Chains A and B, each alone.
Chain A
Amino acid sequence: EVQLLESGGDLVQPGGSLRLSCAASGFTFSSYSMSWVRQAPGKGLEWVSVISGSGGSTYYGESVKGRFTISRDNSKNTLYLQMNSLRAEDTAVYYCAKIPFRGVIYFDSWGQGTLVTVSS
């Protein structure tokens, strides 16, 4: 059974940094692209970033480009999201999600999410 467990969410001041983790199990982690998707309180889903299985390719949404970095450690079956220069509008639940096939983008498994609050 696929399991994705996010952690690292916290209260952080504007301009601060935070690193989220997503521990994966139940599948061959290195074979799959992974993604971060966020949801601001009371709002809809917003795509944040995607990383290929090898980690060699990364993509970002416009709102986080240049501030967030996605990475992965396939030896630890863990996905990361380094978030710098955080803004109030980054406040959201952050989900990690698995992409089932190369060349197509949809999300077949999701974690339970971790809450990031950016506030002074």
Chain B
Amino acid sequence: QSALTQSASVSGSPGQAITISCTGTSSDAGSYKVVSWYQQYPGKAPKLMIFEGSKRPSGVSHRFSGSTSGNTASLTISGLQAEDEAEYYCCSYIISWSLDVVFGGGTKLTVL
């Protein structure tokens, strides 16, 4: 059973930088393709923030950045703002004889 593990919560003060990690626990570590990241406010649909590990869609603030090292992907938010308080999910997939898409459990970001 493959999974993506995220810490349940993270917090930071306005202006600070925080990092959310997403670790693959697949027995086939490395078989999962690159990660995307989504922001979700309560009661709202998710929004794509990062794709292919480090690329930002147009319209997403430059304060959001993504990186990958080994089987861990990271989302960094710099210059934290109150509006960044939300749930963040990582997502990856594997294409072998079929397709499997997996989301991390989500990380609640609290801006103090």
Contacts and interface: CB of A to CB of B under 8 A. Distances in A.
- Decide whether A and B assemble into one complex: yes
Interface of A: 35, 37, 44-47, 50, 59, 61, 95, 104-113
Interface in B62-112: 89, 91, 93, 95, 98-106
A104 B52 contact: yes
B104 A44 contact: yes
Contact of A47 (B33, B40, B48, B102): B102
Interface residues of B, number: 25
Contacts of A59: 98-99
Contacts of B104: 44
Contacts of A45: 38, 40, 46, 89, 91, 103, 106
B45 A106 contact: no
Contact of B33 (A50, A104, A107): A104
A44 B105 contact: yes
Contacts of A50: 99, 101
Given A44-B89, A45-B89, A113-B45, A106 B51 contact: yes
A1 to B, nearest CB: 12
A105 B47 contact: no
Given A44-B104, A50-B99, A105 B45 contact: no
A106 B91 contact: yes
12 contacts: A44-B103, A44-B105, A45-B106, A47-B91, A47-B101, A104-B51, A104-B52, A106-B51, A107-B38, A109-B48, A110-B46, A112-B44
B45 A61 contact: no
A74 to B, nearest CB: 20
Interface in B19-67: 33, 36, 38, 40, 44-48, 51-52, 57
